[in-house]
């Protein structure tokens, strides 16, 4: 993935979703967003917008990758996987 900070967050999310392994790319991108100073709520909102765009997709891989990453953002996972403590 070629995620450049100068690209809009929405473009970077769409690019990550189109990668061969969207779950890994979304995780990396969420870490990047945090490092760039986005808050938990801002990252959650971005992912939620993409969740709603893909919730009716016939192929559920993108939606599952989004939902899994949202769990890490919200902290609905093991403590070591939480994006925010």
Q: What is the pLDDT of residues 47-69, one digit of tens each?
A: 999 999 999 999 899 999 999 99
pLDDT at 43 over 50: yes
pLDDT at 10 over 80: yes
Instruction: Give the pLDDT confidence score for residue 85 in this predicted structure.
Output: 84
| Percentage of the residues of the chain whose pLDDT score is greater than 90 | 88
pLDDT at 4 over 70: no
String of DSSP letters for 11-79 = HHHHHHHTSSSHHHHHHHHHHHHHHTT--HHHHHHHHHHHHHHHTT-SS-HHHHHHHHHHHHHHT-S-G
């Amino acid at each position: 993935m070629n995620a450049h900070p100068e690209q809009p967050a929405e473009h970077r999310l769409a690019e990550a979703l189109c990668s061969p392994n969207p779950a890994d790319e979304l995780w990396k991108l969420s870490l990047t967003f945090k490092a760039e100073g986005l808050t938990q709520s801002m990252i959650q909102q971005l992912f939620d917008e993409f969740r709603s765009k893909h919730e009716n997709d016939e192929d559920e891989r993108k939606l599952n990758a989004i939902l899994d990453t949202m769990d890490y953002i919200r902290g609905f996972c093991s403590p070591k996987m939480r994006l925010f403590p």
